[in-house]
Structures are given as structure tokens and as C-alpha cells.
Structure 1
Amino acid sequence: MIAVVKYQQLRNSAELTPLVRVYLSFLNHMQKPDGGFHNYLSYERTYLDMEGSEDSAGRALWACGCTLNSSVPEELRMVARDLFERGLSMRGKAVCLRFHAAMLLGLYEYHQAVATDYLRDFAKELGDIFVQRFQDQAKEDWQWFEPYLTYDNARLPQALFAAYRLVEEPQFLEVAERSMEFLLKTQLMNGVFVPIGNDGWYSRGGKRPLYDQQPLEAAATVEATVDGYYVTKKREYLEAAESAFGWFLGRNTQGVMVYNPQTGGCYDGVSEHCVNLNQGAESSVCYLLARLKLEEVWQGVLSE
């Protein structure tokens, strides 16, 4: 849903609005009475989980925020707003930083559409959580929120960039930049983007795995660095975004194309010996999000 509404904004087109209606209907069906979301549904439309994951709930709220801050018909934006408002109840229950990151990104989008003070208060509250986690975990050689780097890492500094844009708390920007610098230093090798491999992840003081590299991390880094550029106007963030996007196009440790121009899909990752030829939905959506974010920023840069 995020990719669809971003595409429609950039193209000034309504051709994909029927998909937004489908996705919103799905989220409405999956939302629980307490505002959380189920994550798994059978073909018979019965729920296959009790609680759902915090990750999926955060992404659902982010998608609703993006839809509200779009040009889709008003009745769809109002559905997205209702889903988001009900989901705000999760804010005090969830503990996963990636949930908080996605919610902050959704709050930023929501506030762009409907500026209200309580949204800024929520953003301040969530931003403070990130700063506290950073202060608890950061060491001289480890400027990060957790004692490990796993998946979707760049969403964490991206969320603080969003929080700073909402409340202009200097500490949010400071921590966002320090953590983003650390992440880029860790994942850029001689100008080549090398995302943290999911074969064991990377614990502080441990050995960093190079494989298997996933599209999720490349896309998150593109979006986070572009948002860093929006806040700071530092060109090195744009250069980092281009390097991360280049991972999809063959500028990676194996020199293989991860995006498939014949199908429009994206392979599932880069391993030590080959590219994973499965073209899953998440991988393809990741490519689309990264591509749309770069198009968005370059449209703005060229018009300046």
C-alpha cells in the first residue's frame, strides 16, 4: 500500500486506487478490537495467529499514515485514519524498536496530512525511547540502539529523522546522525553497499556475516539516507542512497543483478555462491520503495 500511494503521488495518477481499496479492506479485516493486527490469514479468511507480530502492526500503521497523506479518495483516507487511530493504543504495549520506528514514520505522514499537537506529543514520546535505548547500548566503537545489527536496521535512524522533523528536538537529530554514520561505515566497503547478512546477524564484538544479503536492508538504507538528506541537506546522504540502490543493480559483492528487469520483480537476496532466484513479494516491494524514494528526492533536487 505504501508503494502504491507513493507511486500515485509521484505520477499524479489514480490508476492504482483499486489496489488501495483492496489493501485497506485487508487491514480492516486484520485489525483486532484492541487496535493491534493479526498477521496470518487462511484462504478461508480465518486468523492463523492470536497476537500477530509487532513488526507487521507497525508497518500497517505506517501504510495507513502514507495513505492518509495521499491523494486517494477521501473515503479511503478516512478509513486509513480510523485504522491508525485505533492502532495508536499499541504504542504503550509494544517493545520492539522496529514497531516504534514504523509507527513514527506513520505519525510523520499522518501529521503531514492532519497537523495535530497530540501527534507531535506521541512522536516526542517515541523519539525519547530511541534516545534512551541508544544511550543504554552505545559504546565508542558501537554507536547503535541494540547490541547487534539484524534486519531493517536503517529504519531506526530513519525514525529519529522523522521525529526530529516533527518536534525539532536536537538530541533526536544527533542520535539519528551518529547511528546512521555508524551503520553506513559498517555497511559500505570501498563504496560498495554490503548489507548485514542474515546468516547469524552481527553481534557487538562478534564476527560480521557477509551473507545472506537481503533486499529489505538495501531499501531501508535508501529511504533512511534520503530522509537524512531532507533534514541535513548533506550530499553524502544522497551518495549513500545511490550506493545502497546500486546493490539492486549489480553493484554488490557478487556483481549480480538483484532486480529482474524482465519480470519487474526482485530476487530474494545475494548469497556467497549465487543469487536467490525466488522473487518474493517482500523483495519486489522493497525494490519499489527504494526506487520511488530516489525518484522522489531527485525530483526535488532537480527543481531546486
Structure 2
Amino acid sequence: MTGSASRALALTLSPASATAPALAPAPSFAHLARLTDDTGLFEHARHATVRREHGYCTDDVARGLVVTCREPDPPSRVLRLAECYLTFLTHAQDGSGAFRNRLGHDRRWTDEPGVGDWWGRALWGLGTAAARSRASWIRDEALVAFTLGAGRRSPAPRAMVFAGLGAAEVLRRQPDNAAAADLLRDAAVAVGAPDDSSDWPWPHQRLTYANAALAEVVIAAGHLRGDDRLLADGLRMLAWLRDIQLVDGVLSVIPAEGWQRHAPRARHDQQPIEVAALADACVTAAVVTGDPSWGTGVRQAVGWFLGDNDGGTTMWDPTTGGGYDGLTPSGANLNQGAESTLALISTLQHARRWS
């Protein structure tokens, strides 16, 4: 994206605007539908062609449920996707609330039920469906599955974070839901307290993946639990993370290899999940604080997909609606898998409503 185009985007996404900027495309579900069959959402693609041999995973299906249930007025094709994803998740869940993650194209599970990241993301998807779906039966069924899963805990902090985001969704609709309240509390505890240092106010010595989600769940927990200290911690974490991911005014997210404190920071490979997580967290901060300046993060996230990034590279395919899998030193990885496409859709959903 050129500098003039970036300025036009920033001007169009003014704080007073409630609609999408002219330069931001509407979220398209065309490629998501291409990646989906009657069982679930395929994980990988070569360019825009589904790679069925890699099968399905709960991780991506759960994210699919999040974006389809976020749609305020979903057309029938999007509602059918949500139904498919909900059915997959309830099939993946066992009687204890754990989830299997990987299903082969032969419809055989290749792992045992567990409480890894996929458990957390499943609860995020189910919580979002229970709170936001326009179909009452989806809300009801999702809440049953969420409640079963919310009785479990994971030793993995990020799994707890993703589950906590689902709990926050449920609490916004049902403030007295005890299972969701307990899970959100425990998710914030799993993140840990931020460091007192001004140059690294983060609970861990390494930034890895979906980093902004950690700050978001702390913000949500502080707000929904009425804990001003916790809310302030989450906002401080997010402000720092947002600022360190700007290079010459352009969003440059933490790469897939992560970043260790006091170590040199790599610039590639940047993953769309980081961009989407930042947009999610900035929207939550804007809602909680009423401060429209958090919309800067949404503008930067949208700009990253449109080419306002380290490579000056467009990170989506307008002809298919798919998101590219990563930003490399030589440009975009042109494969259009589920995770990247879902990150694109999620970010553009926020661009439609927020600045």
C-alpha cells in the first residue's frame, strides 16, 4: 500500500465512523466455504486448493465458529458453516469436557482427548456461539458444550487464555454464569502479573504467538470482575505490545519464532494470527474504556492485510477471499489455509464496525 493509500485508510476509519472504510473489503466467506465440507474445515491449502490429505483440526474449526457467529445478520450459507463447525466441536468433545484435535480425511481421530490449545479455542468458539449466534438452537447447544468444557483446566497458559475469551463472551450475555466467571478468573491467573519494568511490562520473558490475546483476557477479566488493578494491568500490557509492533508507523508483528527479552528480534515470518489477535484486543479495549484511540490498532491490522507491512505486500487474494499464510522475507506465502483466512475475516469484521 502506498503512503497516500495508508493515509486515506486512516482518514476513512475516523473515530466517528461506524462503517467500513472504502479501502477495506467486506469480509468474504467464499474461501472459508471452499475449505469446508459436510464434516468440518480443512486445515491446509496449496494456494487456494484444499489439501484434503492433511484433514481437519479442532483449532481451526473453533475459530471458524467464532467468525461465523460474530456476523450480525448472517446469510444462510454462513449459518450453515456455523452449524457444521458446532457439530464438529460437539463430536470432538468427550464426556469429561476435553477435546480431540485432529481428524483425518478418513473421518478417524488421530489423537486422544486433551486440554491443549484446541480445548481453549473450542471453548472460545462455543462461548462466542452461545453469546452471539442468531440461531437460538446454536446458542443453546453451544452453551451445553461450553459448560461441560468449562469444568476442565489446562496447564498451558495460552489454552487457558483462549478458554477465558470464550468465558468472557458468555459473561457478557449471562453475567451470573458461575462456570464462565470461574474460568475467566483462572485464565487471568494463568497469564500472570506483568513485570514492573517499563521496557518489558509483560508476564513472560518471551513473546510467542497470539500475544495480544493474553492482554485481552486480562482486560476482559478486569472489566467483567470489577477489578480496576487487573484492568489497568491488561491495558498496560496491550499498549506496550501495540507500540513495540510498530516500525516506522507500520505494523510489524512478532514473527513465528517469537522474541526473547534482550535478544535480537527477527522480522519474519509474520503470521496473520498475530494481526487478528491485536485487532481483537484493541476492540475489547475500546469497548471497555470508551477510548476511540484504540481504533488505531484496528486500522493498523487492516492495513497489514492490505499491504501496509514490512514487505509492502498485499496479504490476501481478492479473487478467492483467502488470506495468505505468512509474510516472508521474499513476500507473501501464497498458500491460503484456514488459520490465515480466518484471521483475515476476523480483522475485516472489526474494520466494518470500529476505528
TM-score normalised by L of structure 1: 0.89
* CA–CA distance in structure 2, aligned partners of residues 104 and 296 of structure 1: 23
- The answer as to 2:228 corresponding to 1:134 is no
1:100–1:126: 8 Å Cα contact kept in structure 2? yes
Aligned to 1:83: 145
Aligned to 1:245: 302
Aligned to 2:69: 5
Of 213-222 and 236-245, more deviation after overlay is shown by 236-245
Aligned to 2:86: 24
Aligned to 2:57: none
2:322–2:341: 8 Å Cα contact kept in structure 1? yes
Q: Look up the SS of the partner of 1:134 in the other structure.
A: coil
1:39–1:53: 8 Å Cα contact kept in structure 2? no
Alpha-carbon displacement from aligned partner over 1:138-182 (angstroms, at most 9, x marks no partner):
534211121101111000111112112311201221111111122
2:155 pairs with 76, 83, 95, which one? 95
Using the TM superposition, give the Cα deviation of residue 52 of structure 1 relative to its aligned residue in structure 2, in angstroms. 4.4
Of 188-197 and 161-170, more deviation after overlay is shown by 161-170
Length, aligned pairs only: 290
1:123–1:163: 8 Å Cα contact kept in structure 2? yes
Using the TM superposition, give the Cα deviation of residue 129 of structure 1 relative to its aligned residue in structure 2, in angstroms. 3.5
Aligned to 1:54: 116
* CA–CA distance in structure 2, aligned partners of residues 117 and 282 of structure 1: 30
Using the TM superposition, give the Cα deviation of residue 117 of structure 1 relative to its aligned residue in structure 2, in angstroms. 4.9
Following TM superposition, the consecutive aligned residue runs of length 4 or more in structure 1 with deviations greater than 4 angstroms are: 12-15
Aligned to 1:108: 168
Of 177-186 and 245-254, more deviation after overlay is shown by 177-186
* CA–CA distance in structure 1, aligned partners of residues 152 and 338 of structure 2: 26
Using the TM superposition, give the Cα deviation of residue 53 of structure 1 relative to its aligned residue in structure 2, in angstroms. 5.8
Q: Look up the SS of the partner of 2:141 in the other structure.
A: helix
Aligned to 1:219: 276
Using the TM superposition, give the Cα deviation of residue 288 of structure 1 relative to its aligned residue in structure 2, in angstroms. 0.3
Of 104-113 and 248-257, more deviation after overlay is shown by 104-113
* CA–CA distance in structure 1, aligned partners of residues 80 and 297 of structure 2: 35
* CA–CA distance in structure 1, aligned partners of residues 100 and 182 of structure 2: 27
- Percent identity between the two aligned chains: 30
- State how 1:142-161 maps to structure 2 within 5 Å: 142-161=200-219
Amino acid at match of 2:246: L
Alpha-carbon displacement from aligned partner over 1:13-48 (angstroms, at most 9, x marks no partner):
454222222111110111122211110012232211
* CA–CA distance in structure 2, aligned partners of residues 233 and 281 of structure 1: 33
| Structure 1 gaps, min length 5 | 299-304
1:134–1:143: 8 Å Cα contact kept in structure 2? no
Using the TM superposition, give the Cα deviation of residue 81 of structure 1 relative to its aligned residue in structure 2, in angstroms. 0.8
2:226 pairs with 165, 168, 181, which one? 168
Q: Look up the SS of the partner of 2:99 in the other structure.
A: coil
* CA–CA distance in structure 2, aligned partners of residues 68 and 115 of structure 1: 13
Amino acid at match of 2:347: A
Amino acid at match of 2:155: V
- Gap change, CA 1:194 and 1:24, over 3 Å in 2: same
TM-score normalised by L of structure 2: 0.77
- Gap change, CA 1:187 and 1:96, over 3 Å in 2: same
